[in-house]
Structure 1
């Protein structure tokens, strides 16, 4: 993509996440995550319909959760401009939104056409995310104790000084116990896969690595941000049900292959997010007095931008 195209698409991505965040915010605390997801999805689809060019949704969110969705292979845009790939989660952290807990985001990533990995029927993947300083030292086949030692050495720290992000899920009970036993500190949010990865990448957050199994849509979006900032990431499909594993095998895909950052997203990419419920990463929309104020994050090649945007009614 040309520089002018990228600049325009960055604006489209920010508009899409802002619109989705504001639409979802109307449902915050109403204990109806499907309605919030549907509102965010509808708003994001409308914004993306105005994008210059043709954007193909390589990976969406709804199929995993049987939720409203921007579906795989859906084509969006006005057709007048470049082709590009899209990875999307209009409302990441739907349960946070439903219960008005901090951490939900409207998220999207764009990449050059044909460069985003498609996991087919694979909804979950095992991941490691590290900052640029530890890029290239980790291996998904390593036990967690070895991973901690390698990352600590790369960062010039002791294992006891590391802070590790692992989602608080039953599948992670042993992993969390082993990381704690090794001496590292653990942050265990109930969800927020993308937000957890961003905490590793952003310099103003005290997190050294992310471990564990999360969603593949979140993984591809994370890879776009990791690639833009030169961090390290590895992923491997990790089905959580027998039927998911069978579908992956039927599609001719391997359950053993490890994908690195540049296989998950092989071309220039950028990532955008807007806060829905507020939290350490981004504040929630502020609506009133004839205006709406949103907080967004745009990650492009080597650059992190925090953007506060005001829309007047």
Structure 2
């Protein structure tokens, strides 16, 4: 990691020394938003998660820059792009955040809501500027060299199936259940693959691709750019494959991207989305096959987290608050 130098040089610290700070941030957000599970108030749940995560990050050792965060897309006044967090005593680092991934899952008490964050070395996390949405492909390591966002979905299915040693009919694909994906879902089904269609939560879908125990082979479709960058941190750490391309959903977003000098045609690979050492952390909010929800026990609140770092996946059960 780069050293931060102001009046005097600071000691270089490995990015992975910040893992405890990241875990504290996601578990604080998860516990805060859990109070809103099933209350049908997405904004309140997201605000609770964002406030708690920001407060936790204020104690992180060092100086962190929010490269991609809440901001205008989620009408959030905190953890916006460019905000500085941390106590200033330690290394510089970049962060990408989604304090509550799957706000509708939380509001409706459905499985899949997560508090998520990625930490990276300074300058390594890609900033999408005014781009809020991106088209994505995520695959396991065995298929990382065969994907191309310019391929039609039918061709992608054939190539991924061959790389995984399967038939297309054996593939399980995650595509979010959004109006924009109606045709994509229909084409994948006609090609013979099975399709999981969660209402949201493409970070969770991407993690299902990366973790063999969850029996998913491929993620396709358009999701948020914060989720894309955090996904890329997990994909890179585990050697998977990912491609992304900005996919504005409104004319105003497309105009802002062009005005910023960014291309709507460029395809970014995983090493461009996350260009250096990074790690990913998630904590469960509403439960599900990936992570359980926070729970009370012996006067404490227990949370379940996932840490993806340096080719390893660690499942952590910890006390959120004493």
1:109 alignment partner, one of 118, 130, 135: 118
The alignment status of 1:152 with 2:161, answered yes or no, reads: yes
Partner Cα distance (1:198, 1:311) in 2: 23
Contact 1:17 1:272 in 2 (8 A): yes
Per the alignment, residue 248 of structure 2 pairs with: 239
Contact 1:30 1:99 in 2 (8 A): yes
2:172 alignment partner, one of 163, 188, 193: 163
Aligned-pair CA distance for 1:274: 0.2
Per the alignment, residue 11 of structure 1 pairs with: 20
Gaps of 5+ in 2: 3-11
Per the alignment, residue 230 of structure 1 pairs with: 239
Partner Cα distance (1:311, 1:25) in 2: 12
CA offsets per residue over residues 241-297 of structure 1, 9 Å max, x none?
010001001111000000000000000010000000001110000024311110000
Partner Cα distance (1:182, 1:153) in 2: 14
Per the alignment, residue 284 of structure 2 pairs with: 275
Aligned-pair CA distance for 1:52: 1.1
Aligned-pair CA distance for 1:311: 4.3
Contact 1:92 1:192 in 2 (8 A): yes
Aligned-pair CA distance for 1:312: 5.5
Partner Cα distance (1:231, 1:7) in 2: 20
The alignment status of 1:304 with 2:307, answered yes or no, reads: no
SS in 2 for 1:204: helix
312 and 194 in structure 1: CA distance in 2 versus 1, 3 angstrom threshold: closer
Aligned-pair CA distance for 1:118: 0.5
2:185 alignment partner, one of 176, 193, 206: 176
Aligned-pair CA distance for 1:79: 1.2
Gaps of 5+ in 1: none
Moved more, 294-303 or 55-64: 55-64
Partner Cα distance (2:121, 2:180) in 1: 34
1:75 alignment partner, one of 84, 90, 109: 84
Partner Cα distance (2:15, 2:225) in 1: 25
1:97 alignment partner, one of 92, 106, 114: 106
Q: TM-score, normalised on structure 2? A: 0.95
Partner Cα distance (1:48, 1:80) in 2: 13
Aligned-pair CA distance for 1:53: 1.1
SS in 1 for 2:212: coil
**Structure 1 runs, 4 residues or longer, greater than 2 Å off:** 1-8, 310-313
CA offsets per residue over residues 40-91 of structure 1, 9 Å max, x none?
1111111111111111000002421224541000011111211111000000
SS in 1 for 2:73: helix
**Which runs of structure 2 are paired with 1:168-207 in the superposition (5 Å)?**
168-207=177-216
**Count of residues in Structure 1 that have an aligned counterpart in Structure 2:** 313
Partner Cα distance (2:81, 2:122) in 1: 14
The alignment status of 1:218 with 2:227, answered yes or no, reads: yes
312 and 77 in structure 1: CA distance in 2 versus 1, 3 angstrom threshold: closer
Contact 1:41 1:68 in 2 (8 A): no
Per the alignment, residue 55 of structure 1 pairs with: 64
The alignment status of 1:26 with 2:35, answered yes or no, reads: yes
SS in 1 for 2:214: coil
SS in 1 for 2:150: coil
